[in-house]
Amino acid sequence: MIGIIPAIDVIDGKCVRLSQGDYQQKTVYNEDPLEVAKWIEDCGIRRLHLVDLDGAKASRIINHKALEKIATHTSLVIDFGGGLKSDDDLRIAFECGASMVTGGSIAVKDPEVFESWIGRYGKDKIILGADCRNEKVSVSGWTEDSTEEIVPFIRKWREKGIENVICTDISKDGMMQGPSLQLYRKIASEIPGVHLIASGGVSCDKDINLLDEAGIPEVIVGKAMYEGKIKL
């Protein structure tokens, strides 16, 4: 059965959602991410995907206090991402309570550093963030498109030891028009052994069931959860 991972995205210390990664299309759902995290935990969920959107834009960790509050006051297993570019960023994230961290832009712009993190912390602690637009990897909080094709990009890092991959189709994110099933099937079929976490576009239980039928092991849910389209 597919695993459900709720997402909390943070800007200015608040729980928000963007549409298609556009910082100008921002909806604030709660002033306090900890309240949302406690609600998620009360629903029986164990995992949380926490994203520092300010950090993603600034290329350094910013909202680590939100991470620390959630880690201190809940028992959620948190994977944290957004702006992690240095060893110091990673140290802060783990010290503030992250169980895992997600690196995306760093894997494109500074692959040697990202590879060193895999060796130092292990494949269970490091997740590859493979965010794409038109199957091209996007970086810097989705504000830049690279020339890297998504499937070869994931395959390269799978060969370097990565197992867990969060793949977000940016064109679907926050739109609640359904996930990129074709893309996820392609990745799963072409890269054996990858643990694929689908993200973006999930609008209802049917979407989750379709991902489950496609053999996708986990899915991140965001806007549909906040707007009551999916009941945790």
The residues pairing with 228 across neighbouring beta strands, listed in sequence order, are none
CA–CA separation, 92 and 29 (whole Å): 26
User: Catalytic pick from 54, 79, 131, 207?
Assistant: 131
CA–CA separation, 195 and 117 (whole Å): 18
pLDDT (average), residues 29-42:
96
pLDDT (average), residues 27-46:
96
User: Catalytic pick from 9, 79, 89, 173?
Assistant: 9
Q: What percent of the chain has pLDDT over 90?
A: 80
pLDDT digits (tens, 9 = 90+) for 175-188: 678 899 999 999 99
pLDDT (average), residues 207-227:
95
Which pLDDT does position 21 carry in this prediction? 67
The reply to whether 160 falls in a domain is yes
Q: How many structural domains are present in the chain?
A: 1
Residue 168 near residue 105 (C-beta atoms within 8 A): no
Q: Would you call 131 a catalytic residue per the annotation?
A: yes
Which pLDDT does position 115 carry in this prediction? 97
Q: How confident is the model at residue 190 (pLDDT cuts 50, 70, 90)?
A: very high
Which pLDDT does position 26 carry in this prediction? 83
The reply to whether 149 falls in a domain is yes
Q: Would you call 9 a catalytic residue per the annotation?
A: yes
The reply to whether 231 falls in a domain is no
Q: How confident is the model at residue 191 (pLDDT cuts 50, 70, 90)?
A: very high
Does this model's pTM top 0.85?
A: yes
CATH of residue 158's domain is: 3.20.20.70
What is the residue whose two structure tokens read 């992250």? 98
The range of the structural domain enclosing residue 129 comes to: 3-226
pLDDT (average), residues 45-68:
95
Query: For residue 79, what are its two tokens?
Result: 């994977």
**How far lies 219's CA from each of 45, 85, 90, 175, in Å?**
13, 25, 24, 16
Query: For residue 183, what are its two tokens?
Result: 């893309």
Q: How far is CA 95 from the centre of its chain?
A: 19
pLDDT (average), residues 191-204:
94
